[in-house]
Structure formats: C-alpha cells, structure tokens
Amino acid sequence: MARGCEAAVTRGVLVVLAVLVVLAGLLWVFQRSLIYLPDRSPLPPAGQVIPGARDVSFTTDDGIRLGAWHVPGDRGVSVLIAGGNAGNRLHRAPLARALAAQGLAVLLMDYRGYGGNPGSPSEEGLHRDVLAARRFLGDSPVIYFGESLGAAVVTRLALERPPEGLVLRSPFTDLAAAGQANYPILPVRLLLRDRFPVASRIAAVRAPIVVLYGTRDTIVPPELSRAVAEAAGGKARLVEVPAAGHNDLAMLTGPEVVGAVVDLAGRVGGTR
C-alpha cells in the first residue's frame, strides 16, 4: 500500500512538472502576444482629432514605413510621445492636444504593428521605430515622453540620440520586474526575451529627467517608478500623482503630467 501511494505521488509530481514545462513553453513561444497589445483599427485623419495636426510617415532602417501625427508649435521645442504596450496613437491624442495648446510641437507616433502600421513589435523593432521618429524631427530641440513600456523605449533612445529632456510616465525598472508584479507565480525573468531595462541605463542619460507615477498604479507598482528615479543618481525630478491608477485620465492629461512637460520645455530652451 505504501509503495502504491508513493508511486501515485510520484506520478502526480511528474504530471505537475509536465504541465509546468508545457506552460513555460507556451509562454516562451507566445509571450509577445501577451506583452504587446496593439489596436490595429483604422485611424481618422490627424486634423479631425487634433487641431492643426497632419498625417506624416517615416521609414525605419529595416524598411518599415510608419504612420504618425505631427502638430507644429511655436515654442521651439518638440515632444516625441512614445506610447505604452497597448492601444494606438488615438488613445494618446488628448495628451498631444494638451501639449499643442501650450505651443509645443508634438510627434505622436505608433510602433510597428500599431495603428495600422505594418510589422510585428519587439524590443529591437520598437527601438528602430523611435530612431526613425527622432530622425523625422531633424535638429530641433526634443523632449522624449515615454509612457510605461514607452519609458524604456525612450530611455534607450536617449543614450543613442540625447534629448533636451526626458519624461518617463509610470516607468518600470525593467519589464521582468513589472511582469513579476503582475504574475508572481510565473518565472517571468527566466522566460522573457524582450527585457526593456530602464534602471540600469538611466544614470547614463545626461538630459534633465522627470519621473511621473500614480500612487494607485497596480500595473507598474509605484516602488518601481521610484526606483527608476533613484537609479538616476539624483538627476531625476520625481512627480507623484495622488490616487491615480495606471490608465486613469489623470495620468494622461492631468495637470501634473502636462505641467511637468511644459515646465521642462521652458527650462531646456522653449519660451514660457
């Protein structure tokens, strides 16, 4: 009887291990469909969404043509907005409108696979996309604004093409840390192919930095955003948005968010 129970337990353990191996394999294969959640819906013309905006496009160095919206400004500073892992540029249009109303030029881009753009997103692909967006803006002073996953994208861009200022909204230390917070029982760090480090890179950024976070963010816990600011070595201004969650309107067009960008633009060369 004892041997039979022992054999049953062994079989049970083996079944559990087999299930875990299969799950890990599925996560490895399909993980990008869990990380990147693009809205591929057709978009209206830019001018119907943001007054004075126009539809533009630019091509990445691997040959992908990306659509974007550009709003001219009169303050001498442009803002490059890199979104998070979900939606498309239509979802960030309220921020672009708010910044344009302050006289700032805005380039509201979509990554490959987002907003009707061809291609499939990946960490390297998104880097190529923001490089192409930065080239489109030419030699004008630029502030990079990165939302969540986009914060990692523009932090890497800042090391290759230094901006006049860097605004990170709800940044994580790296993607694995954010994933582990949301999926605590999974070996996220072991399985991830796309890493998106922020904390290990931020200290090398020479531009003024602002880190914005909501105190009730359950997707990117506040402690991760605070750790990014700390990793900047005292160069980052930390802005807390009280009682705000990750996707709350306050984190899109709230006074703390818009004010941080406008203030930074004034400090780096725009007129007040």
- CATH T-level fold of 39-268: Rossmann fold (3.40.50)
Mean pLDDT (the chain) is: 90
- Interatomic CA distance for residues 22 and 34, integer angstroms: 17
CB 258 within 8 A of CB 65: no
Q: Which residues pair with 38 in a beta bridge?
A: 87
Residues 194, 124, 231, 261: is their CA dihedral positive or negative? negative
Could you tell me which of 225, 211, 197 has the C-alpha nearest to residue 264? 211
Distance CA 100, CA 50 (A): 9
Q: For residue 108, is it left (φ>0), alpha (ψ between -120 and 50) or beta?
A: beta
* Distance, CA of 109 to CA of 58 (rounded, Å): 10
Predicted local distance difference test score (pLDDT) of residue 6: 62
Q: Which tokens hold the place of 218?
A: 């359950």
Q: Are 128 and 60 in contact (CB under 8 A)?
A: yes
Contacts from 186-193 at CB under 8 Å and sequence distance 24+?
186/27, 187/24, 191/24, 191/27, 191/28, 191/31, 192/31, 193/28, 193/31, 193/32, 193/123
For residues 151-163, average pLDDT: 98
Query: What letter represents residue 81's amino acid?
Result: I
146 compared with 1, residue with greater pLDDT: 146
Sketch the domain layout of the chain as residue ranges.
1-35, 39-268
Asked whether the predicted pLDDT for residue 28 surpasses 60, the reply is no
Residue 30 scores a pLDDT above 90: no
Is residue 26 very low, low, confident or very high in pLDDT (cuts 50, 70, 90)? Answer: very low
Q: Please, which pLDDT band fits residue 271 given cuts at 50, 70 and 90?
A: very low
The pLDDT of 5-33, averaged and rounded, is 55
Per-residue pLDDT, 19: 46
The model's confidence at residue 33, banded by pLDDT at 50, 70 and 90, is confident
pTM of the model: 0.89
